[in-house]
């Protein structure tokens, strides 16, 4: 999965990780994640949930972006709905190839 994100980063997309909990605090995993993602956000640390549209507004402000310019990729529909409600573009992750096809369709 990280290879997929590295491929996206290689295309030129800024990448941010939005986790529900604190997986990024695992020392071994953290050293890998920071090489792929520009910034890591934890809903738990933010005092919010990924199902809260406001969380996406907070992230947009933090990365100095308009929420409508954020593309959120996830496999869980409830999080995609929250991102859509906030104004983000979304892609439901099913496979790497499917997401890449959809990304190319956005350009």
74 HSE (CA, 13 A, CB side): 22
Phi then psi for residue 24, to 5 deg, are -70, -10
pLDDT tens-digit profile, the chain (107 residues): 678 788 878 888 899 999 988 666 667 778 888 888 999 999 999 999 999 999 999 999 999 999 999 999 999 999 999 999 999 999 999 998 888 888 877 75
Please enumerate in sequence order all residues whose Cβ is within 8 A of that of 23, keeping only pairs 6 or more positions apart, or say none.
29
> Taking the model in full, what pTM does it have?
0.85
In 3-state terms, the chain is what percent helix, strand and coil (to 5)?
A: 55, 15, 30
The residue written with tokens 């859509």 in the block is 84
């Amino acid at each position: 999965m990280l290879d997929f994100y590295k491929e996206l980063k290689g295309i030129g997309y800024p990448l941010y990780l939005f986790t529900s909990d604190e997986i990024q605090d695992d020392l071994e995993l953290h050293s890998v994640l920071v090489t792929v993602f520009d910034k890591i956000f934890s809903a738990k640390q933010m005092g919010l949930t990924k199902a809260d549209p406001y969380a996406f507004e907070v992230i947009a402000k933090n990365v100095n972006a308009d929420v409508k310019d954020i593309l959120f990729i996830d496999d869980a529909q409830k999080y995609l709905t929250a991102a859509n409600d906030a104004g983000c573009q979304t892609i439901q992750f099913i496979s790497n190839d499917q997401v890449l096809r959809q990304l190319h369709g956005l350009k």
